[in-house]
Chains A and B, each alone.
Chain A
C-alpha cells in the first residue's frame, strides 16, 4: 500500500488535480490505483483545466448562491424551529460510464421487482414465512409490518411504485446496496434540481456533455402516477401528500409537485367520505384519484395505524381497500426497508423470481439465527450494528468503549432477533472542491426506480452525496451535507427536455379558482398579514432610528421614542431615564426589534411568520418572489445586534426595499383569483388595523403628542409629501385625520382601504344556497358605514378640544371592532379545515 501511495504522488495527473491523493485502500472514481486518470474523466478534467481554479471556485460559489436564492433547503429535524440547512452542491460532477451504470440499472430493476413480490406475499399469504424462507420474527417483530395493511390491495396490484437504494462502491469497484427506501423515497427532486442548477452555473460544461438526461425518467414517474387512477383516466387528480413545511425535504415536495403538475396537500386537506378521498377546497370537496405520499406508513391513517398521528387522514386505509384511491407506495411497504432482510434476499430472489440476485447487499448477519449471532458478537469491532426497530442510530463497533459495548451485547443477547450486524464499507471517493482545492471525499449514491408497464425503469442518474470527512462514513440525508450531480455518460450528447415546457394530454383551461385548498387560502391570508406587518414595523423602526440619530447628536432633540416603543414592543415597560443611559436604552430596544427573533413583534420574529406561511404555499409563489424572500431572510439573519444607530438605519433601508419588492412582485405575478384575494385581504386588513393603531397613538394615547409624532404618522404611511403638497402649512391634526381617515381618493387612507377590502370580500366564493350577505360582508359593511356616517365636524378641534379627542377615540374603537371580528369570520367560513380529528378511545398513555 505504501508503495502505491508513493507512485501516486510521483505522477500528478494535471495541474488542477495536483494535490489530489486518494487513499489507495479505497476505490477512487477519478483515478486508478496507479494514480492515472480513468479514461472517462479525461474530457471533463480537460474542461475544468481550461477553466482554471479561480473560475471553478467562482462557479462553485455561484451554484451556492443560486441554491440559496431558489430556497433549496433541507430542514434538519433536531435543529431549532425554522433553522433550515441550505442544500450544498459540489460543482464537479461525478462521472460513470454506461457500462458500469448498466450493472446498477439491471440490478435495481430486479431488486424492485423482488421487493414488490415480497410485499405482496407478506401482506397476503405470507408463504415465505410459512415455508421457512424468512424467519417469522424478522417480519412480525418489525414495527414496519402493519397488520392493518394485510390484503389491503387487490391481487395483482403493485405495492412498490417507487424504489430507491443507497449504493456504495467497494474497493474492488463493485457496487453494494447499503439500504432500501420503499415508503416514500426522497431525493429524485434534489437530483433534478442539482442538475438544473449546475447546468445554469456551468453552461459550457453541460451544453455539450454526453450525459443521459433525467427528464424522461420524471416523465415516466408522472405517467405511472396517472395510470394508477381507478377512474378519471383522462384527467386523474393526483396529489402529493406532504407532512408539511417542517419536514426535512419539504423543498423537494414543493418542487416535484410543481414539476409533475400535482396538487401539494397535507393530511388535513384531505377527507375520506363515501369510501373516496376528497380535497377540501374553497369550492367544496374535489375527488382525489391518486396520492403520491411523502408521509411515513404509520402516520397516514389515525384510525387504523398510529392513533396519535396528526399528519394523516382518518379512513384512508379503508379507502384504499375499497378501491377509492391509489397510493404510491402502498401503505405498509416500509417493512422491506428492514435491514435484516438483506441476509435473506439471495434466497428469496431465487424462490420468488427464479433468478440470482444481481446487485448484492452489503454483508449482513441477522442475530436471530444462532450462528450469525455468534459471528456478530465475535466480530463486533469490525461491524456496524443496527437495530431493526426504526429510528435508532446504528452503533459502530470499533468506536464503542467497554461499557457501551457490554451494554450493546446485553441488548443483543436479550433480543437477538432485533439486531443485525453489517460489514463496514470503505466507500469510494470522488473529487470535490474545497477551499480552492480538489480533494477526494467518500461518496454514496441514491438510485431511483419507478414502476412502468413491464417492470421498473431506473433513473439514468442518481443523487450522489458526500460525506463531510473521511472519518465520518455515515452519509445521511437526515443530516444534510453536500451532494453531487451524477453523470451517466452516453455515447453522444442528448437533447435537453424539460417537463416544465410540456403539456400532457388534452389541456383543460383552468383558472386556479375554487379548487384552491382551504389550507392554502389560510396560509396566503396570513402571508399577506405578516408581510404587511413586517412592512409597518420596518417603517416605524426607520422613523424611530431617525429620531435616535437626532438624539445622539443633540441631547434635547425632539423625539417621541417612548411613544413609538409602546406600539413597537408593547410588552416592554417604558421607564424614564437620564440623558445618556436613555439613549443607550432606546438603542438597545430598537436593536432588539431589529435582530432578536425571540422578541414578539421584532423584524425577525414577524419575518419567521412570513417564511412559515410562505413555505406552506411555496408552490403558489413565483420563483422571483422566493428569491426576494430568501434574500430578505439572509439580510435579516446577517444583521448584527451591535450596530450603531446609523448602521442600523442603513441596513433597515435595504430590508424595506426587499419587503416592498416582495409585495409588489406578488401583486404582479400571482393571478388575481382566490389565492391572491386572500393574500390581499390579509394585507389590507393588517394595514387598516396598523393605521388605526398609529392614529390611536398619535391623537389619543401618546404621552408626548405633537408635531414629531404626527410627522411619524405621515411618513410611516408614506403621506408626508402628499400632505405638504396639499396643505403647504404646518401639520394640523384635523387635516391629517381627513387625509388618512376619510379621503377615499388617497390610497393610504383607511376609507380607501376599507373600500378595497369590501370589494375583495364580495369576490370570495359564496354559499350558493343563501341570498343573504355573508358574515364577512356584513362586518366590512359595518366598518365602512361607521366611517362614512362619522360626524367629521365633531373632530375638527383635535388640537385643543378634549371632546374632539374623545370622539376620535370612540370612532377608532368602533372601527376596530368589526375589523377584528372579520379575521375570525374568515377563518370560520373558509379555513375551518384546521379542526383536528381525535380518537374515541386513547389506548396508550
Chain B
C-alpha cells in the first residue's frame, strides 16, 4: 500500500474584473475499493458563495462552486491524502480472445456488460475510424487473448510515439496524433481508447496523478508533477483493466485515480463560465508527495468539504 498527499493548485489571473463565475471541478479523487481518500482540504479564493459536492453520471465526485464577489484572480487548491493498494485486476488470468469479448459485449444480458457498451461508442474527443483500427490490428491478430493484445498495443504506443508536451493542445485531433506520432499522456490514452473502440471493444479514459520518483541521489522537486491520464479496457464479467501507454505498464500503486469517463471532456479538472475577466493567464501546480509511515505528518486541519460552507 502507498500513501500520498496530493496537492493540486490552479491559479487564474484575469486582465479584467470578474463579477460572477460558476465552476465545476473534478479534483476530488474517487473513493474505490483499492483507493482510500481522507477528506480533502479545500482552499478557494475568493471564498465561494456556494459549494456543493455531488456524484456525476460516471460516479465521479464533482465540486460545483460559484463566486459572486468581484475578483481578478481565482485560486483553487485541493489537497487530499490518498492510500492506494493493488488493483483487483492487476494480475488476472482472464484469457478470452478479443473476439470473444466483443461477442459477450453484444450478447450477454448481464446489466453491467450492457452498461459497458456505452464505452464502445464515439465520444466528443474520440471517433472510431479505419485508421485507428488498422493501427490496432498489428496487436490484435485473430483469436489472440485480449490482455496479451492490450499489453502489446500499450507497448507499441509507448515505443512508436514520442512524448512531446509542445506538440499537441486540447484541440489537437486524434488523427493528427496518429499521423505525427507525437503527443502527451492524454493523447496516448485517447489513441489507445480509439484503437480499442474501433475494433468494437469498450474502453474508458482515466484521469489522475502519478508519483514521479526523482533520480537516485537527488531530492524530490515539489510541484514538478503533473496530471496524468491512462485508460481502462472492459473485461466482461470481471471489470476494468487499466493500462498506461505513456509508461508502458498497467496502473499500479503509483497511479492515483481522480475520475473517469468516455474521454477528457467528461473529466476536465476545472471548468468555469464567468462574466467579464477579459483574457487570463493560468498556473497549475501538482505535487504528489509520498508519505512514508514514519514521516507521516500530523495533519492538523483536514477539513471536510461539506464543512467549508
Contacts and interface: CB of A to CB of B under 8 A. Distances in A.
B194 to A, nearest CB: 15
A192 interface: no
B22 A838 contact: no
B100 interface: no
Given A272-B22, A273-B66, A843 B170 contact: yes
Contact of A131 (B111, B268, B270): B111
B109 interface: yes
B273 A303 contact: yes
Contacts of A303: 22-24, 271-273
A835 B52 contact: no
Interface in A717-767: none
B66 A315 contact: yes
B115 interface: yes
A842 B171 contact: yes
A148 interface: yes
Contacts of B58: 147
A840 B67 CA distance: 14
Contact of A129 (B54, B114, B280): B114
Classify chain A's interface size: 35 or more
Nearest to A136: B117
A845 interface: yes
Nearest to B122: A141
A840 B271 contact: yes
Nearest to B277: A838
Nearest to B68: A273
Contacts of A126: 115
B114 A130 contact: yes
A140 B118 contact: yes
Contacts of B273: 302-303, 307, 314-315, 837-840
A147 B60 CA distance: 12
B65 to A, nearest CB: 10
A78 B58 CA distance: 38
B56 to A, nearest CB: 7
Contacts of B21: 840
A305 to B, nearest CB: 11
Nearest to A314: B273
Interface in B108-126: 109, 111, 114-115, 117-118, 121-122, 124-125
A318 interface: yes
A322 B64 CA distance: 11
Contact of B271 (A129, A835, A841): A841
B222 interface: no
A273 B52 CA distance: 14
A633 interface: no
Contact of B121 (A137, A835, A837): A137
Given A147-B266, A303-B272, A844-B124, A322 B52 contact: yes
Contacts of B268: 841, 843
Contacts of B118: 136-137, 140
Contacts of A842: 170-171
A321 interface: yes
A132 B268 CA distance: 31
Contacts of A417: 121
A840 B121 contact: no
Interface string B118-157: 1001101100000000000000000000000000000000
A141 B120 CA distance: 10
A799 B156 CA distance: 92
B22 A314 contact: yes
B68 A274 contact: yes
Contacts of B68: 273-274
A147 B271 CA distance: 16
Interface in A136-182: 136-137, 140-141, 147-148, 150
Nearest to B112: A130
B45 interface: no
B49 A273 contact: yes
A842 B271 CA distance: 9
B171 A129 contact: no
B64 A840 contact: no
A275 interface: yes
B50 interface: yes
B170 A274 contact: no
Contacts of A131: 111
Given A150-B57, A303-B22, A840 B114 contact: no
Contacts of B54: 321
Interface string A299-311: 0001110010000
Interface string B51-88: 01010111000001010100000000000000000000
A272 B66 contact: yes
B223 interface: no
Given A141-B122, A839-B273, A130 B111 contact: yes
Interface in A107-149: 126, 129-132, 136-137, 140-141, 147-148
B274 interface: yes
Contacts of A136: 114-115, 117-118
Contacts of A843: 124, 170-171, 264-265, 268
Nearest to B124: A844
A389 to B, nearest CB: 10
A845 B271 contact: no
A271 interface: yes
A147 B276 contact: no
A150 B56 contact: yes
B121 A838 contact: no
B38 interface: no
Interface in B2-50: 12, 20-24, 49-50
Contacts of B64: 318
Interface in A526-565: none
Q: Which of B50, B111, B115 has the most CB of A within 10 A?
A: B50
A566 to B, nearest CB: 39
B160 to A, nearest CB: 26
Contacts of A302: 273
Given A273-B68, A274-B50, A304-B24, A129 B115 contact: yes
Contacts of B22: 272, 303, 314-315, 318
B121 A141 contact: yes
A136 B56 CA distance: 19
A834 B190 CA distance: 39
A839 B268 CA distance: 13
A170 B256 CA distance: 60
A843 B268 CA distance: 9
Contacts of B92: none
Nearest to A149: B57
Contacts of A150: 56-57
A271 B22 CA distance: 11
A113 to B, nearest CB: 25
A835 B21 CA distance: 13
Given A141-B121, A274-B68, A275-B50, A835 B170 contact: no
Given A131-B111, A273-B49, A274-B49, A839 B66 contact: no
A303 B271 CA distance: 7
A132 B114 contact: yes
B298 interface: no
- List of 5 A-B pairs having minimum Cβ-Cβ separation, nearest first: A130-B111, A840-B272, A140-B118, A314-B273, A315-B22
Given A275-B66, A315-B273, A839-B271, 12 more contacts: A147-B56, A273-B20, A303-B271, A314-B22, A314-B273, A322-B52, A838-B274, A840-B21, A840-B280, A841-B270, A843-B171, A843-B265
15 contacts: A126-B115, A129-B115, A136-B114, A136-B117, A272-B66, A273-B49, A274-B50, A314-B273, A318-B66, A321-B52, A835-B276, A840-B270, A840-B280, A843-B268, A845-B171
Interface of A: 126, 129-132, 136-137, 140-141, 147-148, 150, 271-275, 302-304, 307, 314-315, 318, 321-322, 417, 835, 837-845
Interface of B: 12, 20-24, 49-50, 52, 54, 56-58, 64, 66, 68, 109, 111, 114-115, 117-118, 121-122, 124-125, 170-171, 264-266, 268, 270-277, 280
